[in-house]
Every structure is written in structure tokens, then in C-alpha cells.
């Protein structure tokens, strides 16, 4: 273990823990915690900027785990957003809130 990669390794471990917290916050629909996690991710990313040259095998594994967990959380956020949009549309009777932006792509596929 090299000393130069220790800050990167620690930052990636912090990010992994933060992403786990974000997943729990998303599951609980805890908006305040979700926002805090987003701020924390930005702070950690800023701290990790420029450390790409220090990547060793352990850091690569951590980075891969962070990428996977971030992708899972992104999909969960999108699923929650779609669910909220569907509920809002059902409540308001307005099903075309976001349909205008998607309409050209949908029409292009039907041809």
C-alpha cells in the first residue's frame, strides 16, 4: 500500500459509505438526507479531483464499487421521479406535463 494512494482510498471509502446512506435515504424518501448526500458527494468529488494518477488495484476496485452503487442510486432516483410524475399527473389530470419533450422521439419510432 502506497502512502500516495491513501487519501484517494479513504475518499473512495467515504464515497461508498455516503452512497449507501443515499440509497437508504431514497428508500425512506428522506428528502433532507438525500440533499445532504448530494452535497457530500460533491464535496468528496472535489477532494478527489486530480488523483487519477494514484490509482492502484485496491483503488480500482473501490472506484468500480462506487460507480456501480452510484448507477443503482441513479436508477432508483429516476424510478422515484417517474412514480411521482405519474401520481402528479393522475391528481391533476394533466398527462402531458413532460410528454411534449418526448413526443418527437416517440413519433419517430412509430414510422
What's the pLDDT tens digit per position in 43-78? 999 988 877 666 889 999 999 999 999 999 999 999
Determine the pLDDT at residue 93.
83
Quote the crossing angle between the two packed helices 57-92 and 6-28, to the nearest 10°.
20
Position 106 confidence tier, pLDDT thresholds 50, 70, 90: very low
Domain residue ranges of the chain, discontinuous segments joined by +:
6-109
What's the CA gap between 102 and 55, in Å, rounded? 40
Determine the pLDDT at residue 107.
47
The model carries a pTM of 0.74
Instruction: Reduce the DSSP state of residue 18 to 3 states and report it.
Output: helix
Average pLDDT in the chain = 84
Going by the DSSP 8-state scheme, the letter that residue 98 receives in this structure is T
Amino acid at each position: 500500500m502506497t502512502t500516495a494512494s491513501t487519501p484517494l482510498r479513504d475518499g473512495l471509502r467515504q464515497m461508498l459509505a455516503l452512497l449507501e446512506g443515499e440509497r437508504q435515504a431514497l428508500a425512506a424518501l428522506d428528502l433532507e438526507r438525500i440533499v445532504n448526500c448530494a452535497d457530500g458527494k460533491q464535496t468528496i468529488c472535489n477532494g478527489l479531483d486530480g488523483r487519477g494518477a494514484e490509482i492502484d488495484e485496491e483503488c480500482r476496485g473501490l472506484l468500480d464499487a462506487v460507480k456501480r452503487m452510484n448507477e443503482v442510486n441513479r436508477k432508483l432516483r429516476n424510478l422515484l421521479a417517474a412514480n411521482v410524475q405519474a401520481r402528479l399527473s393522475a391528481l391533476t389530470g394533466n398527462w402531458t406535463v413532460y410528454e411534449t419533450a418526448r413526443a418527437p422521439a416517440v413519433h419517430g419510432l412509430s414510422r
